[in-house]
Homo-oligomer: A and B are copies of this chain.
């Protein structure tokens, strides 16, 4: 899996702690996490294309969440970065060449495909069941200083 997913998730979490009405530029987000600015910008663009964040250009511009974090699932973020295609894709390789006379033996759907889809569905259900807000709440409980620490950093440091 692309590591852009990790970056995007962390950025979404950061954005929940910004001062209301402010946006975080890609440069600051990159500096905060020690990541290459331009490439992170590319990932954030992907989030913007899927309507997870909104982007504004010019001074005081940057990215902010397009909707409440309770309405952004981990699945949404993964899909935005990785694309919506299945990881396992059936290429229908059953049986000897398509010109085989007994080809109709394989009318029924491929059960290997179904089994893999079932597993991948379980993965997607788990991802769709957790929102950015859930993570936010857990962090605020486990490490109460992180939100303020983050907010302050984005408010003060000019990177």
* Chain A interface (Cβ < 8 Å from any Cβ of B): 1, 3, 5-7, 9-10, 13, 31-35, 74, 87-91, 93-97, 102, 105-108, 111-112, 115-116, 118-120, 122-123, 125-127, 130, 134-135, 138-139, 142-143, 145-146, 149-150, 153, 157
Work out how many copies of this chain go into the complex: 2
Among residues of B, the one whose C-beta sits closest to the C-beta of A121 is B126
A122 partner residues in chain B, CB cutoff 8 A: 122-123, 125-126
Report the separation of the CA atoms of residues A97 and B153 in the bound assembly, to the nearest whole angstrom.
12
B119 pairs with A120, CB closer than 8 A: no
Report the separation of the CA atoms of residues A7 and B88 in the bound assembly, to the nearest whole angstrom.
11
Contact A90:B120 (CB < 8 A) given known A111-B142, A130-B115: no
B1 pairs with A74, CB closer than 8 A: no
Among residues of B, the one whose C-beta sits closest to the C-beta of A129 is B119
B126 pairs with A119, CB closer than 8 A: yes
Other than the given A1-B87, A35-B93, 10 more pairs (CB < 8 A) read A6-B88, A6-B91, A9-B116, A33-B93, A74-B115, A102-B145, A112-B135, A115-B134, A122-B122, A122-B125
